[in-house]
Amino acid sequence: MQIKIADRFKPFSHTPGVNFLLPHSSFNFKIFPCKIIVEDLSGNEKKEIGSIELHFEGPLKDFTVQQDLDKGLIKIWGRSPKGFLRYCILPGQENSFFFEFEKAPEDFIPKTKSESLKKSLSKRPSQLNFKQLETLSLGINKSQDWNAIHRRNDIREIFPIWLRLGQLVSHSQEIDLDQPSLFKSCLDTLDRKDRNDALAAFKKLYLAGFYEGMTPRLADDDFQGFSLPIIVEKSSPLALLYQGYKLIRKLFFEQKGNHISILPLLPSDLVSGRFLNIYCEEKGRCDIEWSKKQVRRMIFHAEETAELKFIFQKDIKQFRLRSEEKDKGKICANNATISVTKGVKYLFDQFK
């Protein structure tokens, strides 16, 4: 009795100067073959804190930067005329970062003259736990090359990475919603329950608010002609990731006390998918699978004994509920109140 996602979250780029945010930190790394520029995004203005020069003979063939969102680090590798280069950037203790050089060419020398950058360097990486992250898959298994993702602008590729990275930022500042903005437009479509306009609003927010690599920004540096600001500039750009993650979540799951709504605002373009390990405010966690725009299976892991009302899509009249896979189970009506027991796993299926 299990729903799985086989996807791995390891987006990458071969473009020199790509921006990648380091998970569990406020640091953005602009990475070239022989230079790394480090920026702090915790304030309302992007602040460059220094750079690292990597001295070796180039050019670097097969230059690749990969943001590993399964392990929470950035990997860089390539081949110079004098040997292979491979190293990692990992989050360190208390919003710092750690370099781990695995292989380097014979003439390789890393240097930095920035004192503020030296203060942000950690002597050892932090120990991270990724087991409880919510994970989304929308049925797309294409290569996670950011150049292609950004060009296609397919929300089915963008949402799962946005949702994952939004849980890995160290900053959860609220966004000012008093003034019109692209972020507020997304929220307004959800408040109006306009599920299809929501996707168009999210696409605009992504194009304006993010570099390739999903690093957030406060200004549209590509000058695409959006009439609204991204967010009110008193906020940190990192708020786009975390608060955006919470907005995306509303399309698939919403909880008000003991009332749990499943796929309440599913857009028609998101025909199939899986959303796993959804936190249900101390009541438990659930996994959802849907196809042809309708929920097919759901597993609820109860972490508290409670009376819960599960609200499925309007077209659904009833479903089967069981706590053992071999049980016949019982038929329940949509919106029925269900008694759950702490520690028990419940399977919902046969939705009609």
DSSP 77: E
The predicted structure's pLDDT at residue 339: 95
The predicted structure's pLDDT at residue 125: 61
The predicted structure's pLDDT at residue 127: 65
Q: Which of 78, 77, 83, 82 is nearest to 100 (CA)?
A: 77
Query: What is d(CA 349, CA 351) in angstroms, rounded to the nearest whole number?
Result: 5
Specify whether the CB–CB gap between 181 and 230 falls below 8 A: yes
Query: What is d(CA 93, CA 344) in angstroms, rounded to the nearest whole number?
Result: 37
Instruction: Evaluate if pTM is beyond 0.85.
Output: yes
The edge-to-edge listing of strands for the beta sheet with 135-137 is 135-137, 273-279, 284-291, 294-302, 345-349, 318-322, 330-333
Map residue 132 onto helix, strand or coil: coil
Q: How far apart are the first and last CA of the chain?
A: 20
Please say whether the dihedral angle defined by the alpha carbons of residues 43, 72, 68 and 108, taken in this order, is positive or negative. positive
Kindly give the confidence (pLDDT) of every residue in the chain, 352 residues in length, as a single tens digit, with 9 standing for 90 and above.
789 998 899 999 999 999 999 998 899 999 999 999 999 998 877 788 889 898 888 899 999 999 999 999 999 999 999 889 999 999 887 778 888 888 888 878 887 766 667 667 766 666 666 668 999 999 888 999 999 999 999 999 999 999 999 999 866 677 888 889 999 999 999 999 998 899 999 999 999 999 989 999 998 988 999 889 998 767 789 999 999 999 999 999 999 999 999 999 999 999 999 999 999 998 999 999 999 999 999 999 999 999 999 999 999 999 999 998 788 889 999 999 999 999 999 999 999 9
342: its two tokens = 């702490």
Q: Are strands 135-137 and 61-68 parallel, antiparallel or unpaired?
A: unpaired
Query: Residue type at 267?
Result: P
The Cβ of residue 70 has, within 10 Å, a number of other Cβ atoms equal to 13
Map residue 27 onto helix, strand or coil: strand
Query: Residue type at 32?
Result: F
Dihedrals phi, psi of 235, to nearest 5 degrees: -90, 160
Query: What is d(CA 188, CA 201) in angstroms, rounded to the nearest whole number?
Result: 9
Q: Which of 154, 161, 153 is nearest to 137 (CA)?
A: 161
